[in-house]
Amino acid sequence: MEAREDVLFSCWIQEVGEDIGFLQEFFARASGLGEAIMKVRKAAMEQGCQDPVVFQCDPVELDGDVEGLEPGPEAEVFWSVGRVFFDPGPGESEPDFVFPWGVVPSSGEGEVDTSEIGPGFERSSDEDGIEYLGANVSGPELFPLYCRLLQLHPSYAVFWYVLHGHWAEKEEEDMEGPEEGPDRFLVNEDLSTPEKIIAHLESRPLDSVRNGFVTLTAYLEEGETNLSISDHKRIMVSSRSPSIVDAYQKTLEEAGLGLHPNLASIDAGVHHRHYRLPGSLPKEDLARSLLDSGFRVWDRGRGAAEP
């Protein structure tokens, strides 16, 4: 594959201290959004930020001479000298919600303002008797909470990846949204216990939990239950067993998440972008790596198939 030309990205960061917080716009030239985000975080920390949170990103073009940029618009990474300061409130020393690695809001106007998105979960059911949970979990807590949910059951029938159709080979090269292809399911029946699943995910976090182009699912035969981290990096549950969903809900509540009937989430009415981080594998390389490590292709229309 030919190397892509770098794209200029605008990334807004948020830094929250004990007494004051601020927002600031950074710019980075990178081959993909994930690379831009890491460049921006590094530059922000070099400027004195302790834990900058990137909360909005878009590809941009700068028209003409733009003032107030350091070290200048020709640099690989530069930033606006102006900051928007705000009072974080008493006792607040961190953002209310940190979007997990793999997905980030864009500046496009949607049905929901991103400021409305916060930690919490929603529960629903359909006419077929399937119960659903969908949870917003702040980035640092996402994987630990998923592990807690996994450990509610001693064994699973199968674990799988979905490599989503919106993961085009050229990824962010077409920033207007690449044409989607079919989702690809790769399954592994040997990942049958919480310990095995967790060890697998810990061995390749950049390609799994932090990859915004994949969904990860542990399948429990009881209740035909799916326990997932979606490509939007939300914890998702579907099950025909209300008691299983009750147990998952209790664990979410014990983790400090509240039930919100009208929960705002990044996958509903919010313009956003998916990305993968530097060091992660391209789509076809990840598929080959998973196949080499015991996964196999599954065609939902025809059942399991050997690759």
Same domain, 65 and 153: no
Looking at residue 111, its pLDDT comes to: 84
- 288 token code pair: 């080959």
Do both 198 and 258 map to the same domain? Answer: yes
DSSP string, 194-250: HHHHHHHHHH-GGGTTT-TTEEEEEEETGGGEEEEE-TTS-EEEEES-HHHHHHHHH
For the chain, what is the domain count? 2
Q: Amino acid identity, residue 106?
A: S
- Could you give phi then psi for residue 226, rounded to 5 degrees? -110, 125
- pLDDT at position 303 is 43
89 is in which domain, residue-wise? 7-95
Task: Establish if 33 belongs to a structural domain.
Answer: yes
Q: For residues 167 and 184, is the Cβ–Cβ distance under 8 A?
A: no
Q: Do 77 and 167 reside in the same domain of the chain?
A: no
How many CA atoms within 13 Å lie on the side-chain side of 229? 33
Q: Which two tokens stand for residue 257?
A: 């998440």
| ∠ Cα 305 209 264 (to 5°) | 110
- Tell whether 285 is covered by a domain: yes
What's the predicted TM-score (pTM) here? 0.91
Q: Which amino acid is at 257?
A: L
Average of per-residue pLDDT values in the chain = 91
Question: Which of 163, 153, 161, 171 shows the shortest CA–CA distance to 221?
Answer: 153
Among 95, 125, 149, identify where a domain stops.
Answer: 95
Residues 39 and 175 in one domain: no
pLDDT at 64: 73
3-state secondary structure of 302: coil
* Residue 65 and residue 135 in one domain: no
Which has the higher per-residue pLDDT, 292 or 306?
Answer: 292
Q: CB-hemisphere CA count at 13 Å for 36?
A: 32
The pLDDT score that the predictor gives to residue 93 is 54
Digit-coded pLDDT (tens) for 30-81:
999 999 999 999 999 999 999 999 999 999 999 877 889 999 999 999 999 9
279 in any annotated domain? yes
Indicate if 80 and 202 belong to the same structural domain: no
Going by pLDDT thresholds of 50, 70 and 90, the confidence category of residue 299 is low
Q: In angstroms, rounded to a whole number, what is the distance separating the alpha carbons of residues 193 and 65?
A: 58
If one compares 14 and 178, the residue with the highest pLDDT of the two is: 14
- What count of residues does the chain have? 307
Distance CA 104, CA 195 (A): 30
Is 108 contained in some domain?
Answer: no
Q: Is residue 186 part of a domain?
A: yes
Contact 123, 245 (CB under 8 A): yes
Do 248 and 227 meet the contact criterion of CB atoms below 8 Å apart?
yes
- CA-atom Rg of the chain in angstroms: 20
Q: Give the pLDDT confidence score for residue 130 in this predicted structure.
A: 98
Q: DSSP character for 90?
A: T
In sign, the C-alpha dihedral spanning 212, 244, 199, 254 is: positive
Residues 244 and 198 in one domain: yes
Whether residue 283 sits in one domain with residue 180: yes
pLDDT digit string, tens, across residues 124-182? 999 999 999 999 999 999 999 999 999 999 999 999 999 999 997 555 444 444 456 78
- Write down which residue in 95, 129, 158 finishes a domain: 95
Residue 266 pLDDT > 80: yes
When pLDDT is averaged across residues 92-104 and rounded to a whole number, the result is 85
